[in-house]
Amino acid sequence: MAGQPTYERLALAISNSALAQDTAAALRDAHDWVPQEEAEAVVALGGDGFMLQTLHKMLDSGRILPVYGVNRGTMGFLMNKHRPKGALVERVNRSRPVGISPLRMEAINQNGDTRVECALNEVSLLRETRQTAKIEILVDGKTRIEELVADGVLVATPAGSTAYNLSANGPILPLDSQLLALTPISAFRPRRWRGAILPDRAKVTFRINEPSKRPVAAVADQKEVRDVAEVHVEIARDSELTLLFDKGHALDDRIVAEQFVV
């Protein structure tokens, strides 16, 4: 394909699972692998959790490379199918790039300290105790719900819409939809509110009501900030990541297929 990049300097990222380690051993002689700091792209062996770890490390380091995932885990939604007899390097160079912009979470705790984290799947707010959380929800500075009484609430990207968001009965979003899902978690009041679909240019703010009595934690994928008072969430447009998928197995195709699973 015209304009298709060719990746010659490839690095291996390997999860600690025995399956990933065995696969890596079989691939050692298949290519002249280089350290990640010298690579043009990365081959990640593991599951979805390991893929998220790999991408988060790139965001933290500031050196972002395309990543081709090989499923050596359980679900493998973000990964390509493992083919033991296939020429892996050729598959990488025939793959289709898919750009994903993460969410940026700015969480301010009850002491006024601020922490910034990125999330590829979702930012979720969760009650810390047996008492329900009480959360004010603002979109672009305008209050949309004065008080959500619930176990929590989340904002999901299209790539993350089939993860926790779907388990919370949120909508599945096509990858190119330029939308975000705002989904309550076990809402008590307003009982009939099922969430909202927002343009991905929206900035969502959560303010915790009664934070001392009803403490809430904010979680960006796997990174948690406890006892938050206010949380701001928006797309991090300066941190786009690239996943590489085999043709016919791209992430947007999987998102469509997931809507027909019964």
Which residues fall in the annotated binding site for NAD(+)? 48-49, 121-122, 151, 159, 162-167
Q: Are 192 and 75 in contact (CB under 8 A)?
A: no
Q: Are 236 and 214 in contact (CB under 8 A)?
A: no
Burial 30-60 (b: 16+ CB within 10 A, else e): ebebeebeebebbbbbbbbebbbbbbbebbe
Q: Is 36 helix (H, G, I), strand (E, B) or coil?
A: helix
The strand pair at 41-46 and 10-14 is best described as: parallel
Of 32, 48, 140, 253, which one is the catalytic site residue? 48
Tokens 């305008």 correspond to: 142
Whole-angstrom Cα Rg for the chain: 20
Q: Are 30 and 92 in contact (CB under 8 A)?
A: no
The strand pair at 67-71 and 41-46 is best described as: parallel
Q: How far apart are CA 132 and CA 72, in angstroms?
A: 38
Q: Is 136 helix (H, G, I), strand (E, B) or coil?
A: strand
Q: Is 85 helix (H, G, I), strand (E, B) or coil?
A: coil
Burial 192-203 (b: 16+ CB within 10 A, else e): eeebbebebebe
Q: Residues annotated in the binding site, as ranges?
A: 48-49, 121-122, 151, 159, 162-167
Q: How far apart are CA 238 and CA 154, in angstroms?
A: 22
Element (H, E) at 164: helix 164-167
Catalytic: 246? no
What residues are labeled active site? 48
